Structure 1
Amino acid sequence: MTIIGARQWADGPFPLISTPALDGDMKDPFTQAATEMALIHNIIIRGMNSIYLQAPHVPVDDVQPFIGYCKAWSEFLHSHHKNEETILFPTIEKAAGVPGLMQPNVSQHQQFHDGLAKFDEYIHAALPETFAGQKLIEILDTFARLLAQHLADEIPTLTALRTYGIEKVPIIEIAELEAKHEFGTINKTTALAFMMTALDVTYEGGIHKNFPPAPAPVLWFLRNVCTLPCRAFWKFAPCSTGGRPRELYVGDRVQ
Structure 2
Amino acid sequence: MTLPLTWLYAPGDRPVVVHKALTSGADVVIVDLEDAVAPGRRRYALDATVELLSSAQPLPVHVRIDTPRAVEALAGLPGLSAVRVPKVAHATDIRRIAARAPGVPLYPLLESALAVEHAYAIATAHEAVRGIGLGEADLQAELGMRGDAALDWPRARTVFAARAAGLLPPAQSVYPDVYDLDGLAASCAHGRDLGMLGRAALHPRQLPVILRAFLPTPREVEEAEEIVKAAADDEGAVALPDGRFVDGAVVAAAERTLALARREVPG
TM-score tier by shorter-chain length is under 0.3
- TM-score scaled by length of structure 2: 0.25
If each structure's helix is expressed as a fraction of its own residues, which one has the higher value? 1
- TM-score scaled by length of structure 1: 0.26
Return the structure number with greater relative CO, CA threshold 8 A, min gap 6.
Answer: 1
Decide which structure has the larger Cα Rg and report it.
Answer: 2
If each structure's strand is expressed as a fraction of its own residues, which one has the higher value? 2
